[in-house]
Amino acid sequence: MRSRQAGQGKIGCILWLLVVGSVGMIAFKMIPVKVKSSELHDYMVEQARFSGNYPSDQIAKAVLVRARELELPLTEEGLKVEKVRARIKMEATYTVPVVFPGYTYYWKFHHMVDRPIFVV
Protein backbone atom coordinates (compact mmCIF):
# COMPACT_ATOMS: atom_id res chain seq x y z
CA MET A 1 0.00 0.00 0.00
CA ARG A 2 1.05 3.52 -0.64
CA SER A 3 1.60 5.73 2.36
CA ARG A 4 1.04 8.96 0.39
CA GLN A 5 -1.18 9.89 -2.47
CA ALA A 6 -0.10 11.96 -5.46
CA GLY A 7 -0.15 15.69 -4.77
CA GLN A 8 0.42 15.56 -1.03
CA GLY A 9 4.15 16.46 -1.07
CA LYS A 10 3.99 20.27 -1.18
CA ILE A 11 7.15 21.09 0.75
CA GLY A 12 9.35 20.92 -2.36
CA CYS A 13 7.14 23.38 -4.21
CA ILE A 14 7.14 25.76 -1.26
CA LEU A 15 10.96 25.62 -1.04
CA TRP A 16 11.33 26.34 -4.76
CA LEU A 17 8.91 29.26 -4.48
CA LEU A 18 11.01 30.65 -1.61
CA VAL A 19 14.20 30.30 -3.65
CA VAL A 20 12.66 31.93 -6.73
CA GLY A 21 11.17 34.71 -4.58
CA SER A 22 14.54 35.38 -2.91
CA VAL A 23 16.36 35.51 -6.24
CA GLY A 24 13.67 37.83 -7.61
CA MET A 25 13.96 40.17 -4.61
CA ILE A 26 17.76 40.28 -4.89
CA ALA A 27 17.54 41.03 -8.62
CA PHE A 28 14.89 43.69 -7.98
CA LYS A 29 17.22 45.49 -5.56
CA MET A 30 20.59 44.96 -7.28
CA ILE A 31 19.91 45.41 -11.00
CA PRO A 32 18.85 49.10 -10.78
CA VAL A 33 22.01 49.92 -8.80
CA LYS A 34 24.20 48.19 -11.39
CA VAL A 35 22.41 49.97 -14.26
CA LYS A 36 22.88 53.39 -12.59
CA SER A 37 26.53 52.64 -11.93
CA SER A 38 27.06 51.64 -15.55
CA GLU A 39 25.35 54.84 -16.71
CA LEU A 40 27.73 56.88 -14.57
CA HIS A 41 30.75 55.06 -16.01
CA ASP A 42 29.47 55.65 -19.56
CA TYR A 43 29.01 59.33 -18.73
CA MET A 44 32.58 59.51 -17.44
CA VAL A 45 33.86 57.96 -20.68
CA GLU A 46 31.79 60.45 -22.68
CA GLN A 47 33.16 63.37 -20.67
CA ALA A 48 36.70 62.11 -21.17
CA ARG A 49 36.14 61.81 -24.90
CA PHE A 50 35.00 65.42 -25.32
CA SER A 51 36.99 67.12 -22.56
CA GLY A 52 39.75 68.72 -24.61
CA ASN A 53 38.76 72.34 -24.01
CA TYR A 54 37.40 72.10 -20.46
CA PRO A 55 39.30 72.34 -17.16
CA SER A 56 39.35 69.30 -14.91
CA ASP A 57 37.29 70.95 -12.13
CA GLN A 58 34.45 71.66 -14.58
CA ILE A 59 34.48 68.02 -15.71
CA ALA A 60 34.43 66.88 -12.07
CA LYS A 61 31.39 69.08 -11.37
CA ALA A 62 29.57 67.62 -14.37
CA VAL A 63 30.28 64.06 -13.18
CA LEU A 64 29.08 64.89 -9.65
CA VAL A 65 25.87 66.41 -11.01
CA ARG A 66 25.23 63.28 -13.08
CA ALA A 67 25.88 61.08 -10.04
CA ARG A 68 23.32 63.10 -8.06
CA GLU A 69 20.80 62.72 -10.90
CA LEU A 70 21.35 58.96 -10.78
CA GLU A 71 21.04 59.00 -6.96
CA LEU A 72 24.53 57.58 -6.46
CA PRO A 73 26.48 58.60 -3.34
CA LEU A 74 29.57 59.92 -5.14
CA THR A 75 31.29 62.77 -3.28
CA GLU A 76 34.05 65.19 -4.19
CA GLU A 77 36.46 63.14 -2.07
CA GLY A 78 35.58 60.00 -4.05
CA LEU A 79 36.14 61.61 -7.46
CA LYS A 80 39.52 62.44 -8.94
CA VAL A 81 39.85 64.11 -12.34
CA GLU A 82 43.21 65.16 -13.70
CA LYS A 83 44.65 66.11 -17.03
CA VAL A 84 48.21 64.97 -17.51
CA ARG A 85 49.85 66.11 -20.73
CA ALA A 86 47.67 64.68 -23.52
CA ARG A 87 45.62 62.34 -21.31
CA ILE A 88 42.67 62.64 -18.98
CA LYS A 89 42.36 60.33 -16.01
CA MET A 90 39.20 59.98 -13.95
CA GLU A 91 38.64 57.80 -10.94
CA ALA A 92 35.38 57.46 -8.99
CA THR A 93 34.99 55.43 -5.81
CA TYR A 94 31.74 55.12 -3.89
CA THR A 95 29.67 52.64 -1.89
CA VAL A 96 25.96 52.06 -2.39
CA PRO A 97 24.02 50.54 0.52
CA VAL A 98 21.49 47.98 -0.74
CA VAL A 99 18.90 47.31 1.98
CA PHE A 100 17.33 43.87 2.27
CA PRO A 101 14.97 42.75 5.04
CA GLY A 102 17.27 42.22 8.03
CA TYR A 103 20.52 42.91 6.15
CA THR A 104 22.26 45.80 4.41
CA TYR A 105 24.81 45.01 1.71
CA TYR A 106 27.40 47.71 0.98
CA TRP A 107 28.25 47.47 -2.72
CA LYS A 108 31.58 49.14 -3.54
CA PHE A 109 32.20 50.61 -6.98
CA HIS A 110 35.46 51.81 -8.48
CA HIS A 111 35.39 53.31 -11.98
CA MET A 112 38.54 54.31 -13.84
CA VAL A 113 38.77 56.13 -17.16
CA ASP A 114 42.10 56.86 -18.85
CA ARG A 115 41.88 58.28 -22.37
CA PRO A 116 43.93 60.43 -24.70
CA ILE A 117 42.68 63.99 -25.21
CA PHE A 118 41.81 64.97 -28.74
CA VAL A 119 41.34 68.70 -29.24
CA VAL A 120 39.16 69.55 -32.21
Residues 41-57 have pLDDT tens digits of 999 999 988 877 888 89
Taking residues 107-111, what's their average pLDDT?
A: 96
Half-sphere exposure of 102 (CA within 13 A, CB side): 0
11-116 under CATH 3.30.1300, yes or no: yes
At residue 11 the predicted structure's pLDDT band, cuts being 50, 70 and 90, is: confident
Predicted pLDDT at 120 = 58
Q: Is 21 helix (H, G, I), strand (E, B) or coil?
A: helix
Q: Which alpha helices (H) appear in 56-119, and where do they start and end?
A: 56-69
| Mean pLDDT value of segment 70-84 | 93
Q: What is the pTM of this model?
A: 0.81
